[in-house]
Amino acid sequence: MKELRGGNAVCADPENFWREQGLAYIAGVDEAGRGPLAGPVVAAAVVLPHSASISGLKDSKLLTPEIRAALAEEIREKALAFAIREVGVRHIERLGILAASLKAMALAVQALTVAPHIVLIDGREPLPLALPQQPVIDGDDCCPSIAAASILAKVHRDRCMEAYHRQYPQYNFARHKGYATREHLEALRAWGPCALHRRTFKRVREWLAANGGDEEM
């Protein structure tokens, strides 16, 4: 792993900085789903052409579902390359959510059909990859490729949870996407956890401790 610190690691314009150094293929990478009590963590990696003009790229959490979906289609059309990868619940339990998130992001980068000259990662942590890379704090606010990755990851994960809703309708995953909303916590108390729930997360762990473990999962 070669971690670089060009530009300002606290978010100036690192993407443009590396373009000015002559790097053409800059991959932005981000994840969605670190916080929920249920479901996979999803990561996306995106390489945008320098000429790409995509209006409205920003942190996916600041966008409406409709705008995210429209931007996701535009990103897929205009990107030089993109890849999306998931790390499932049992891996999250075994590795911990931080390591699972980093693994998902590394898998997404490795799946790109264009080899990046550098990888820009949203956050503070480098990836377990032997590639030049730079963590960028609040990268989805200042790096278009990271913002694009954030959007693809969020849209993909939301669609996964909507599909899981059909399998486990009692939790209403289609609405809260596995986050610890009041509705979700009430369903967890009523029904207990299903196979999608992360048994190492506090609210699920507490239910298991109070109800004799996870034999039914």
Mean pLDDT computed over every residue of the chain? 91
Helix axis angle for 182-191 and 202-210, nearest 10°, is 30
Nearest to 30 by CA among 137, 115, 114: 137
Kindly report the pTM of this predicted structure.
0.91
Question: Would 201 be classed as within a structural domain?
Answer: no
Question: Would 206 be classed as within a structural domain?
Answer: no
Percent of the chain with pLDDT over 90: 78
pLDDT category at 206 given cuts 50, 70, 90 is: very high
Kindly report the three-state secondary structure assignment for every residue of the chain: CEECCCCCCCCCCHHHHHHHCCCCCEEEEEEECCCCCECCEEEEEEECCCCCCCCCCCCHHHCCHHHHHHHHHHHHHHCCEEEEEEECHHHHHHHCHHHHHHHHHHHHHHCCCCCCCEEEEECCCCCCCCCEEEEECCHHHHCHHHHHHHHHHHHHHHHHHHHHHHHCHHHCHHHHCCCCCHHHHHHHHHHCCCCCECCCCHHHHHHHHHCCCCCCC
Q: Do residues 91 and 83 make contact, with C-beta atoms less than 8 angstroms apart?
A: no
Could you tell me which residues come within 8 angstroms of residue 76 by beta carbon, excluding any fewer than 6 positions away?
82, 152
Question: Would 75 be classed as within a structural domain?
Answer: yes
Question: Would 182 be classed as within a structural domain?
Answer: no
Domain that holds residue 35: 8-164
Number of domains in the chain: 1
Mean pLDDT score, 77-89: 97
> What's the burial of 164, exposed, middle or buried (CB within 10 Å: 0-12/13-18/19+)?
buried
pLDDT category at 214 given cuts 50, 70, 90 is: low
**CATH (domain of 32):** 3.30.420.10
Give the least confident one: 21-25, 110-114, 155-159.
21-25
Q: What is the pLDDT of residues 141-152, one digit of tens each?
A: 889 999 999 999
Question: Would 212 be classed as within a structural domain?
Answer: no
Question: Would 98 be classed as within a structural domain?
Answer: yes
Asked if pLDDT for residue 177 goes beyond 70, the answer is yes
Question: What confidence score (pLDDT) does residue 60 get?
Answer: 79
Question: Would 190 be classed as within a structural domain?
Answer: no
Mean pLDDT score, 1-30: 75
Q: What is the pLDDT of residues 182-197, one digit of tens each?
A: 999 999 999 999 999 9
Q: Within the chain, what is the greatest distance between any pair of CA atoms?
A: 59
Q: What is the pLDDT of residues 98-113, one digit of tens each?
A: 999 999 999 999 999 9
Q: Give the separation between CA 38 and CA 23, rounded to whole angstroms.
A: 38
Question: Would 147 be classed as within a structural domain?
Answer: yes
Residue 78: C-alpha distances to residues 35, 48, 49, 52 (Å): 30, 7, 8, 7
Asked if pLDDT for residue 4 goes beyond 60, the answer is no
pLDDT category at 155 given cuts 50, 70, 90 is: very high
Question: What confidence score (pLDDT) does residue 140 get?
Answer: 86
